Amino acid sequence: MKLEVLYEDNHLIAVNKPAGLVVQENEHGMDSLEVLVKDYIKVKYDKPGAVFLGCIHRLDTAVTGVVLFARTSKALVRMNQQFKDRAVKKTYAALVRKKPNPMAGTLVHYLKKDTKENKTKLYNEEREGSKRAELSYQYISTANHCFLLKVMPVTGRPHQIRVQLARTITGIVGDVKYGQTKPTSDKSIYLHALGLSFIHPVTKEKINLHAPLPNFGNWKFFKDIEKNLLKE
């Protein structure tokens, strides 16, 4: 699988994750984005022995878009702190089947991960073991019976965008885990990590990463307005 590298220096590497690929190596021996990036670094820089690569954050297997890795332990520690401090700005694109009302807003819920079912439960009030989840959304456009939303999560809970949109607006197209009846042909869902903005952990410069929308299915109807999603 050919990697689409979005950003690369001595400290960080960012790639555009395809659907159907887990981010991090696991005990099941599945192909992972982490292994692909390690192989890419090993070959490109002719590195002997093991390649260091720190997993800073993750995307669900069915989700596409920006994934950032650390190439040094210093960068990993500093980027983990930025995510913990919520200093990283995340922008997602989501396609749903219903126009939101209101067309922009903020959602706050409490989420609890059910590890047995690999599913997140949502509550309107805090429950034992739950964690606060917050995001804002904005309606952008309509095409081919799909409604494009810009989603900006404040927190980073498992399945957060998927379950919060499903409960308040409607499920993301193709997301049968959270209410949609029809899966996509490639088992992906129409949720894409479009942008990631942060301060470089070493140079201290502002970094703005952008992963282009996928070029398949209903995404193609929104390619010409993609830049609107990245506007402040």
Name the pLDDT band for 28 (thresholds 50, 70, 90).
Answer: low
Is 31 a catalytic site residue?
no
> What pLDDT was estimated at residue 51?
94
The percentage of residues in the chain with a pLDDT greater than 70, rounded to a whole number, is 98
pLDDT digits 0-9 by tens, 179-226 = 998 888 777 899 999 999 999 999 999 999 999 999 999 999 999 999
> What pLDDT was estimated at residue 2?
83
In the predicted structure, residue 68 carries a pLDDT above the cut 70: yes
> What pLDDT was estimated at residue 25?
77
Round to whole Å and give the CA distance between 78 and 88.
12
Which entry of 9, 31, 46, 60 is annotated as an active-site residue? 60
- Residue 174: what are its φ and ψ, rounded to 5°? 90, -5
In terms of pLDDT, which residue wins out, 23 or 232? 23
* The two structure tokens encoding residue 67: 């994934």
Task: Tell me which amino acid residue 153 is.
Answer: P
In the predicted structure, residue 77 carries a pLDDT above the cut 70: yes
Kindly write down the DSSP assignment for every residue of 14-42, as one continuous string. Answer: EEEEPTT-BSS--TT---BHHHHHHHHHH
pLDDT digits 0-9 by tens, 8-18 = 999 999 999 99
Residue spans of the domains in the chain: they are: 5-227
In terms of pLDDT, which residue wins out, 229 or 164? 164
Which range is least confidently modeled, 51-65, 76-90, 154-168, 175-189? 175-189
Strand partners, 141: 148
Round to whole Å and give the CA distance between 74 and 223.
37
Size of the chain, expressed as the number of residues it contains: 232
> What pLDDT was estimated at residue 27?
58
Q: Which CATH architecture has domain 5-227?
A: 2-Layer Sandwich (3.30)
Task: Tell me which amino acid residue 113 is.
Answer: K
Hunting for tokens 């957060």 — which residue is that? 160
Mean pLDDT for all residues in the chain: 94
pLDDT digits 0-9 by tens, 117-166 = 899 999 999 999 999 999 999 999 999 999 999 999 999 999 999 999 99
**In terms of Cα–Cα distance, which of 76, 59, 67 is closest to 159?**
59
